[in-house]
Chains A and B, each alone.
Chain A
Amino acid sequence: MLDERARSRPPVWRRVLRLPLPLIIGGALVGSFLFIALLSYVWTPHDPLKLVVADRLLPPGSDRYVFGTDKFGRDVLSQLMAGARNSLYVSLLSTFVAIVVGALLGLLTAGAGPFWRNVLSRLIDVGVALPGILIALVLATSTGPGNQAAIVAITFWFIPIAARVTIGPARQILALDYVEAAYAYGRTKWYVLLHHVTPNIAPLLIVLGSVMFAAAILIEAALAFLGIGAQPPTASWGRLLQESQPLLEAAPTLMFFPGVAIVLTVLGFNLLGDGLRTILDPQQASRSGLI
Chain B
Amino acid sequence: MLEIRDLDVAIGRHTIVSVERLDIPAGTRLGIVGESGSGKTMTAMSIVGLQPNTAVVSGSVRFNDRELVGLSDRRLAEVRGRDIGVIFQDPAKALNPMMRVGRQVAEAIRLHMDLPRDRLRARVLQLLTQVHLPDARSLMRRYPHQLSGGQQQRVLIAIAIACDPKLLIADEPTTALDVTVQSGILSLLRELSVERKMGLLFVSHDLGVIQTISEVIGVVYGGQLVELGPARRVIRQARHRYTQALVSANPGIADDEHLGEIVGRQLDVIPGSVPALDRFPSGCRFRGRCSAEIASCAQPPEISVAGDGHIFKCWNPIEVVAGSEGDLDAAS
* Contact between chain A and chain B defined by CB under 8 Å: yes
Residues of A within 8 A of B (CB): 289-291
Shortest beta-carbon distance, B148 to chain A, in Å? 30
Smallest CB gap from B52: residue in A: A290
Tell me the complex Cα distance, A291–B54, Å: 7
Pairs across A and B, CB under 8 Å, 5 listed: A289-B54, A290-B52, A290-B53, A290-B54, A291-B53
Q: Complex: how many Å from CA A289 to CA B55?
A: 11
Please list the 5 inter-chain residue pairs (A to B) with the smallest Cβ-Cβ separation, ordered nearest first: A290-B54, A290-B52, A291-B53, A289-B54, A290-B53
Least CB distance, B45 to chain A, in whole angstroms: 14
- Which chain B residue lies CB-closest to A291? B53
Query: How far is B54's CA from A289's CA once the two chains are assembled, in angstroms?
Result: 8
- Please report the C-alpha to C-alpha distance between residue A289 and residue B12 in the assembled complex, in whole angstroms: 11
Return the CB mask of B42-60 against A: 1 if under 8 Å, else 0: 0000000000111000000
Number of A-B contacts (CB under 8 A): 5
Chain B residue nearest to A289 (CB atoms) is B54
**SS class, residues of chain B in contact with chain A:** loop
Instruction: A290 to B12: give the CA distance in the assembly, Å.
Output: 11
Q: Which residues of A lie under 8 Å from residue B53 when comparing CB positions?
A: 290-291
Q: In the assembly, what is the distance between CA of A290 and CA of B52, in Å?
A: 7
Q: B10: shortest Cβ distance to chain A, in Å? A: 14
B54 contact set on A, CB distance < 8 A: 289-290
Min Cβ gap B50→A in Å is 14
CB distance from A290 to the nearest CB of B (A): 6
The CA-CA distance from A291 to B52 in the complex, in Å, is 7
B contact residues vs A (CB 8 Å cutoff): 52-54
Give A177 to B52 CA distance when docked, in angstroms: 33
Q: Return B251 CB to nearest CB of chain A, in Å.
A: 33
Determine the chain B residues whose CB is within 8 A of the CB of A289 once the complex forms. Answer: 54
Q: Identify the closest chain B residue to A286 (Cβ).
A: B54
The residue on A at minimum CB distance from B55 is A290
User: Which residues of the other chain, B, contact A291 by a CB distance below 8 angstroms?
Assistant: 53
Smallest Cβ distance from A165 to chain B, in angstroms? Answer: 28
Q: Which residue of A lies closest to B54 (CB)?
A: A290
A253 to B52: give the CA distance in the assembly, Å.
50
Alpha-carbon separation in the docked complex, A104 to B52 (Å): 41
**Distance (whole angstroms) from the CB of A6 to the closest CB of chain B:** 26
Chain A residue nearest to B53 in the complex (CB): A291
Taking the nearest CB of chain B, how far is it from the CB of A40, in angstroms? 47
B52 surroundings in chain A (CB, below 8 A):
290
Closest A-chain residue to B11, C-beta based?
Answer: A290
Query: How far does the alpha carbon of A164 sit from the alpha carbon of B39 in the complex, in Å?
Result: 40
- Smallest Cβ distance from A215 to chain B, in angstroms? 33
Residues of B within 8 A of A290 (CB): 52-54
* Cβ distance A229 to chain B, nearest Cβ, rounded Å: 45
Closest Cβ of chain A: how far from B278's Cβ, in Å?
Answer: 14
A291 CB, min distance to chain B CBs, angstroms: 6
Write the nearest CB–CB distance from A158 to chain B, whole angstroms. 36
Q: Which residue of A lies closest to B12 (CB)?
A: A289
Q: Tell me the bound Cα distance from A290 to B54 in angstroms.
A: 6
Q: Write the nearest CB–CB distance from B277 to chain A, whole angstroms.
A: 13
Q: A22 vs B52: C-alpha distance in the bound complex, in angstroms?
A: 25
Shortest beta-carbon distance from B55 to chain A in Å: 10
**B46: min CB distance to chain A, Å:** 16
In whole Å, how far is B16's beta carbon from the nearest beta carbon of chain A?
Answer: 13
Whole-angstrom distance from the CB of B275 to the nearest CB of chain A? 18
Tell me the smallest distance from the CB of A9 to a CB of chain B, in Å.
Answer: 21
Q: Tell me the minimal C-beta distance from B52 to chain A in angstroms.
A: 6
Q: Report the minimum CB–CB distance from B93 to chain A (whole Å).
A: 16
> How far apart are the CA atoms of A25 and B294 in the complex, in Å?
55
Measured CA separation A289–B52 after assembly (Å)? 11
Whole-angstrom distance between the alpha carbons of A290 and B53 in the complex?
7
In the complex, A212→B53 CA distance in Å? Answer: 33
A23 CA to B209 CA, complexed, in Å: 50
CA A289 to CA B53, docked complex, whole Å: 9
Min CB distance A173 to B, Å, is 24
B324 to chain A, nearest CB (A): 47
